[in-house]
Amino acid sequence: MSIVKSNNNIENIVIKSNREFLESELLPFLRIPSNTLNKEGINQAKDYIISYISGFCKEIKEIEGEINPLILAKVEGQIKDPLLIYMMYDTQPVNKEKEWISEPFGAEIHKFPPPLDMLGDCIIARGAYNSKTPLLCVLNIIKILKENNQLPISLVLLFDGEEEIGSPSLLKFIKTNRKIFENCIDAYYPSTKQDLNGISVLKLGYKGILSLTIKVKSKNKEPHSAFSAMIVNPAIELISLINSIYSKNEFHIDCLKEPYKITNNEQLLIENLIKQLDLEKIKYKAGIVQVIEEDPKKAFINYLFKPTFNISTLKSGYLEKGIKNMVPNQAICNIDIRFAHRVSVDEIYKEIKEKVELFATKSKCQIELIKNIGYDGSRVKEESILVKSLIESFKEFNTEIWPISAAAAPLSMINKEMGLNFITGGLGIGGFAHSPNEFIQFDSIINTRLSNYYFLKNYSESFKK
């Protein structure tokens, strides 16, 4: 599945070194168990990266974080104004280990059963798709370009070790260290964004996100449920509070109550996408079996633009085996809200806080609202050199342009704080992020590396013009 069409020297070096890169560099990196809360694995991944870039970076700094460190490095290229490249080296924890077909950090090569057998050999590993493979691929290309004195543009490399918990240290660092990024032209997040048919997917922005925790407590012990008529139940109070904010698939706060207003340009992009989009394959790749909306077009529009209210954790009461008839004295939930609306995280949080405070005045329970992380959405224009350079890098493949991603990304803060354009993209086929059997297709990794090279080359040429 090579995209090579010429005898360019760098292309030949990339192709000839591919097997060695996979076996000697990528697989060892994927075997490091760098989930966010595994301190030993995080330190191994951090040390691996610092060792890897030490030969071609002018300056490397390790910055202490709330949990895990950031790494900041600078690389000199032919154009002095730098491009910022953001990467994450932490991963989600391993879940449902019995469902994995091999060790989650074993980085073993396997074939999937039908219908994914069409992919051939795949590397199975937590972080293979999200996002350790694209991280190391782009570093490898930078190394090759530096070794051959052909890096076309200077770079600022920013590695995040807390992305999977909302990048708290990154967000603070960006706000308090604006000077570091003041000469950067744009920001790029390398990724593997081909679908199962090999079509490149390029998204012109990200949703914003707000992550919250709500805790509800009473002063009681945990008495028998026969006393239910006498005492308050924190679990029921929590459910009632949630329903005052969101119920029946609708928000009850003003800034997200009205439907998102789709622009004419977004509507055109959607119409073009719907003609060729295979929503069933998207659902299959994500592990989705049941959906709310059966109409494919409506489901896709909701996926992109409808604000989401997700309860990822809901805990209260007796959680062991069997049944215990008791009244719990606390309840807790974790919530994430994603939004395409052009509103700020602060507006959303303010309204939710007002709802919580009003509810608390009528409740016998102690209620605590915790804001975990939050950042606004971002957009990049289709005519920007970031978008054009990426599309040119994928010219051997069909490219789908989406108006926005349903996901959120912390570098949206770069867009807000610095006014820099920000985009993610790249070739390579992978899937099952955050799920068992996360994978990257073995044969597509050469395209990931080559597209990184083409992007840096195309971007620098466009910048010169």
Instruction: Go through the domains of the chain in sequence order and give each one's CATH number.
Output: 9-204+380-464 (3.40.630.10), 210-260+306-375 (3.30.70.360)
3-state helix, strand, coil in the chain (%, to 5): 40, 25, 35
Cβ–Cβ < 8 Å for 332, 313: yes
Consecutive H or E run containing 274 = helix 264-276
339 Cα distance to chain centroid: 15
DSSP-derived secondary structure letter, 411 = T
Query: Are β-strands 108-110 and 122-124 bridged in parallel, bridged antiparallel, or unpaired?
Result: antiparallel
The encoded tokens of residue 28 equal: 């060892």
CA distances 320 to 56, 198, 200, 234, 324, Å, are 54, 46, 46, 19, 9
3-state secondary structure of 156: strand
DSSP-derived secondary structure letter, 243 = H
> What pLDDT shows up at residue 7?
55
**Hey, CA dihedral for 213, 219, 225, 230, is it positive or negative?**
negative
> What pLDDT shows up at residue 395?
85
- Centre a 10 Å sphere on the Cβ of residue 389 and count the other Cβ atoms it contains: 23
> What pLDDT shows up at residue 159?
98
> What pLDDT shows up at residue 2?
45
> What pLDDT shows up at residue 280?
81
Query: Are β-strands 430-431 and 439-441 bridged in parallel, bridged antiparallel, or unpaired?
Result: antiparallel
3-state secondary structure of 271: helix
Task: For residue 104, give the amino acid letter.
Answer: P
- Centre a 10 Å sphere on the Cβ of residue 359 and count the other Cβ atoms it contains: 18
Pick from 453, 457, 374, 389: nearest CA to 421: 389
CA distance 26 to 432: 19
CA distance 351 to 237: 19
Consecutive H or E run containing 15 = helix 9-16
Query: Are β-strands 187-190 and 422-425 bridged in parallel, bridged antiparallel, or unpaired?
Result: parallel
DSSP-derived secondary structure letter, 30 = H
Query: Are β-strands 439-441 and 122-124 bridged in parallel, bridged antiparallel, or unpaired?
Result: antiparallel
260 torsion bin: left (phi>0), alpha (psi -120 to 50), beta (else) = beta
Q: Quick check: bond before 131 cis, omega within 30?
A: yes
Per-residue b or e along 131-154, where b marks 16 or more CB atoms closer than 10 Å to that residue's CB: bbbbbbbbbbbbbbbbeeebbbbb
In 360-403, which ranges are E strands? Answer: 366-375, 378-379, 399-402
> What pLDDT shows up at residue 285?
67
Pick from 175, 195, 401, 398: nearest CA to 278: 195
> What pLDDT shows up at residue 276?
80
CA distance 308 to 220: 34
Residues across the chain: 465
Pick from 65, 69, 63: nearest CA to 34: 69
Pick from 89, 287, 278, 132: nearest CA to 198: 278
Query: Are β-strands 153-160 and 79-88 bridged in parallel, bridged antiparallel, or unpaired?
Result: parallel
The residue assigned the tokens 């350790």 is 132
CA distances 216 to 186, 204, 232, 368, Å, are 44, 39, 11, 6
> What pLDDT shows up at residue 1?
43
pTM over 0.75: yes
Residues of the chain with pLDDT under 70: 1-7, 285
> What pLDDT shows up at residue 4?
45
- For 114, half-sphere exposure in the C-beta direction (CA atoms, 13 angstrom radius) is 0
Q: Quick check: bond before 403 cis, omega within 30?
A: no
DSSP-derived secondary structure letter, 326 = B
